[in-house]
Amino acid sequence: MYVTMHGSWNRQPAIGYKLIEIPFKKLDTGLYDPVAAADSKTSWKDIMYAPNAGSCSSMSLTRSTCMRLAAVAWSPDYSTLFVSSDNDAEGEVWVLTKA
């Protein structure tokens, strides 16, 4: 599962501003469960993130200081992941593919 962390500009230090991947495993029933325990604080992998989230402390953020990731969407064939940012200075869309 991919999750956007929109960021918390009004928290000191600022946190979030990233895209994370949470690994799941398929059960015999066909359903999925997270690999890590529900109370784990290390159950995800950072995919992309603001290099210094602590500097993301203004409502007038720019691409040079922060990205405010808002949503993810897969292409119809699941080969490409689109990630949007609603950054105040400019809207952005990143296109991620497997290398």
**pLDDT by 10-residue block (mean), the chain, 99 residues:** 82 82 95 92 88 68 68 93 79 85
> How many structural domains is the chain composed of?
1
Residue 8 gets which letter from DSSP? B
- Report the alpha-carbon distance of residue 53 to residue 15 in Å, rounded: 6
- Report the alpha-carbon distance of residue 80 to residue 4 in Å, rounded: 16
Model pTM?
0.77
Which residues constitute the domain of residue 75? 2-97
